Amino acid sequence: MRGAVPAAVVIAAGLWPAAATAQETWLLVVSGVGGNASYRQTFVDRSIQLLEAAQERFGIPASHITYLAERIELADGRAAARSTREEVDAAITDIAARCNPGDQVLIVLIGHGSTQGEGGRFALPGPDMGPADFAPLLGRLSQQRVGFVNTASASGGFLALAGPGRVVVTATRAGQREEPLFGQFFVEAFSAEGADTDKDQGVSLLESFVYARTEVARAYDLEGTLRTENALLDDDGDGKGTETPEASDGDGALARRFVLGGVYGSARLAGVADDAELRSMLEKRGEHQAAFDHLRAAKAELAEDDYLTQLEELLVQIAELDTAIRARNEAAQ
């Protein structure tokens, strides 16, 4: 990543025509009961780390971000309310009321889980919440793309929330009760370098999942201990989840398009609609991207030399066009 992205336009992969439409991102972070001072602080710190990345790195407006914490006084003035069941309900209801169809809503739970009840529970001050409690709340976001991430232990049961237009991520399988490392690395994917593997200057849920999964495995390897957590992602709606989602099809395809920042960062789209030539260039760029995706999909059927020749030519065209777009954009600043 080359620093922050002040430019109004970000060159990114995929869905270029859609880039011209304004799609908003909404974020709800819920940090649950810590149980002791150390965990309490860890969960708050991790939540704030995510909030800062969302706002500062990916340009999500503060008005689109809601934070609920176990203890408001520990949250550095960032928590809107306590993370009780009622407040969770209210926060989702509020987002549902304010967002537009086609927007994306990311809900992240940071805290402890338990295996109690059907599908497990996420520990909150007061009554805990299980998948059956979240299901009707998510039902209010049926017109939006929803990302639901439970970073707690024993969170696998929350895959029951899977459905059309939803990306559900759990830090563990159902029944894995050891405190997982996944949440730490999932948040790190948004706040640190390294997760933006396609260099679109945004981080998708797929990228963040793969980053966290890889770093969790590395951490266990370094410790020389057996891994006691297996994070899962489901976005094809079957509720089964997978540890190895793929961008191309099955679980992973939707998560790849659920991006914080990048082309969907609404703050970065300013100016595109007013510049016809820039729009034309972006449309051309979209065509190149489609050709690129097509070529990659055909890789297995092509001779290696043919593939590489075509690939290089296409990449050069993309690079030249991107350079021109950037130059035009910078000149307009």
Partner 1 sequence: MKRLVGMLLCLCLVGATSAPPAQDDAALTAFRSGRYDEAIAVWQAALDGGSATVAQVRTLLQALRATGRSDRAAAAARAVSEGGNAVAIANRWGELFYERGQIEAARARFQLAVDEGASDALVAELNLAVLEFESGDRESATRRFNRFVDVYNSSGTLNAEELVAVGVACSYLGRENPSLFHDAVRAFEEAIAADPESSEPRLRLAELFLTKYDGAEAGVLIEEVLRLNPSHAGAHLAEARRLHFNGSSEAMARVDRALELNPELVPARVLRARLLLAAESQAAAEAEMDRALKSNPDSLEVLTLKAALHFLRGEQRSFDDAAARALSRDPNYGQLFAVVAELAVQNRFYAQAVDLARRATEIDPSLWAAHGTLGINLMRIGRIDEARASLERAFQGDPFNVWIKNTLDLLDTFPDYRIVETDRFRLMIGHERADLMSLYMGPLAEEAYEALSAKYGYRSEEPVRIEVYDRHADFSVRTLGLAGLGALGVAFGPVVAVDAPLTPGMGLFNWGSTLWHEIAHVVTLGVTDFRVPRWLTEGLSVYEERRAREAWGDDATPGFLLALLRGQLLPVSRINEGFARPRYPEHLGHSYLQASLVCELIEEDWGFDAILALLDAYRDGRTGAEAIRVGLGIEPEELDVRFDEYLRARYAGPLRGLEAAAKRPPAQGRQGTDSADLKALADADSTDFIAHLSAGAALARQGSDEAIEYLERAKRLFPGYAGPDSAYVHLAKILEARGDVAAAAAELRMLLSLNESLLPAYLKSAELLEQLGRTSEAADFLQRSMFIDPWDISRHQRLAQLRENLEQWSGAVRERAAVVALGPVDRASALYRLAYAHDRHGDTRAARRAVIAALEIAPGYRDAQELLLAIRARQGT
- Near partner 1 by CB under 8 A, which window of 107-115, 133-141, 210-218, 225-233? 210-218
Residue numbers 296-315 binding partner 1 by CB under 8 A: 296, 308, 311-312, 314-315
User: Mask: binding to partner 1, 223-242, rule CB under 8 A, as x and -?
Assistant: -x------------------
Q: How many whole angstroms from its chain centre is CA 87?
A: 23
Residue from 13, 92, 108, 232 binding partner 1 (CB under 8 A): 13
Q: Which pair of structure tokens corresponds to residue 198? A: 């396609």
Residue from 200, 229, 235, 251 binding partner 1 (CB under 8 A): 200
The phi, psi pair for 67, rounded to 5°, reads -125, 130
Site membership for partner 1, residue 2 (CB under 8 A): yes
- The smaller minimum CB distance to partner 1, of residues 39 and 220, is found at 220
Separation CA 204–CA 207 (nearest Å):
5
User: Mask: binding to partner 1, 150-189, rule CB under 8 A, as x and -?
Assistant: ----------------------------------------
Q: How many whole angstroms from its chain centre is CA 281?
A: 28
Separation CA 294–CA 146 (nearest Å):
28
Residue from 215, 229, 234, 236 binding partner 1 (CB under 8 A): 215
Task: Say if residue 202 is exposed, middle or buried (CB neighbours under 10 Å; 0-12, 13-18, 19+).
Answer: buried
Q: How large is the C-alpha radius of gyration of the chain?
A: 20
Q: How far is the CB of 238 from partner 1 (least distance, A)?
A: 26
Site membership for partner 1, residue 194 (CB under 8 A): yes
Separation CA 224–CA 165 (nearest Å):
38
- Contacts of residues 127-132 at CB distance under 8 Å and 24 or more positions apart, as own/partner, are 127/84, 127/85, 128/85, 129/85, 129/88, 130/157, 130/158, 131/157, 131/158, 131/159, 131/160, 131/161, 132/160
Residue from 115, 214, 228, 266 binding partner 1 (CB under 8 A): 214
* Interface with partner 1 (CB under 8 A): 2, 11-13, 193-200, 210-211, 214-215, 218, 224, 289, 292, 296, 308, 311-312, 314-316, 318-320, 322-323, 326
